[in-house]
Amino acid sequence: MSARKDYGEPIREMICISCPIGCHLQLFKDENEELVVKGNRCPRGKEYAQEEFYAPKRVVTATAATADPDAPRLPVRTDKPLPKEHINDLISEVYALEVKLPVDRGAVLIENYRDTGVNLVSSLTLGK
């Protein structure tokens, strides 16, 4: 029986969302400060944990105000996942927008948000 390394208490626990099984992952740091992942049943679990630990990102969806009382809110989204630390600030900026109609689906409303390369775009063609 091979000796199992004891990493002590995990530094984070998370559920892998790469597939519906939803492995419960435990994350540890080894002596070289490298991330060690336990509990994954396939390599995708390790990749997921790496990204989720070092650079978690989310697609943000919300609505922005329009001046049209018949369609007061325009659905909007980020065109790529945004680093998590920017989400709250972006949402505040979305709520401060007032979009002029008509607007096309995909129209860029905020470009390259804080140099992340992520744009905020319209989710719907509205006002046409």
Partner 1 sequence: MQHVDVAVIGAGVSGASIARNLSAYQIDTVLLEKETDVSFGVSKANSGIVHGGFHHSTKHLKARLEIQGNVMFDRLARELDFPFKRSGILVVALKSEDMKYIDHLYTQGQENGAIGIELCSRDRMFELEPKLNPDTVGGLHAPSGGILEPYRFVFSMVESAQKNGVELMTDFEVSKAEPLSTGYRIHAADGRSIEADYVVNAAGLYADRISAIFGAEKFEIHPRKGEYYLLDRQTKASPEKVLFPVPTKVSKGMLVIPTAEGTVLVGPTAQEIDDKEDVATSAEELDHIFDAARKMMPVVSQNDVITSFAGLRPTMESGDFYIDVSDEAPNFIQVAGIQSPGLTASPAVGEYVKNLLKKAGATLTEKSDWDPFVSKVPRIRDAGPFDADQLVQQRAEYGNVVCRCEEISEAEIIEAIRRGHTTLDGVKYFTRAGMGRCQGGFCSYKIMKIIMRETGLSHEQITKRGAGSELLMGTL
Partner 2 sequence: MKELEYDVVVIGGGGAGMSAALSVREQGFSCAVVEREAHLGGILLQCIHNGFGLQEFKKEFTGPEYADEFIQKVRAEEIDVYERTTVMSLTPSDDGHESYCYSPENGVMRLTSRAVILAMGCRERNRGNIRIPGTRPAGVYTAGLAQRLVNIEGYIPGKDVVIIGSGDIGLIMARRMTWVGSRVHAVVEIQPYPSGLTRNIVQCLNDFEIPLYLSHVISRIEGHDRVERVEITPLVDGIPDTDQSFYVECDTVLLSVGLIPENELSKAAGVELNPQTGGALVDSTMMSNVPGIFACGNVLHVHDLVDFVSEEARRTGAYVAKYLRGQRPKREVRIKAGANVRYVTPTRLNPAEPDKLYMRSLVVKNHAEVEIKLDSNVIKKTRKTHVQPSEMLSVKLKKKDIEDVRFTDDSVLEVNIR
Q: Which is nearer to partner 2, 30 or 58 (CB)?
A: 58
Shortest gap between Cβ of 47 and partner 2 (angstroms)?
Answer: 15
**Per CB under 8 A, does 118 bind partner 2?**
no
**Per CB under 8 A, does 109 bind partner 2?**
no
**Per CB under 8 A, does 50 bind partner 1?**
no
Cis peptide leading into residue 102 (ω within 30°): yes
The alpha carbon dihedral of 85, 87, 92, 96 has a sign of positive
What's the one-letter identity of residue 79? D
**Per CB under 8 A, does 102 bind partner 2?**
no
**Per CB under 8 A, does 77 bind partner 2?**
yes
Q: How far is Cα 86 from Cα 89, in angstroms, rounded to an integer?
A: 6
Name, in order, each residue with C-beta under 8 angstroms of 38's C-beta and a sequence gap of 6 or more.
Answer: 10, 25, 26, 27, 28
**Per CB under 8 A, does 26 bind partner 1?**
no
Longest alpha-carbon distance in the chain: 71
From the list 2-10, 14-22, 31-39, 108-116, the region that binds partner 2 by CB under 8 A is 14-22
Contact yes or no for 22/2 (Cβ under 8 A): no
Residues that bind partner 2 (CB under 8 A): 14-15, 17, 19-22, 58-59, 61-63, 65, 72-73, 75-77, 84, 91, 105, 123-125
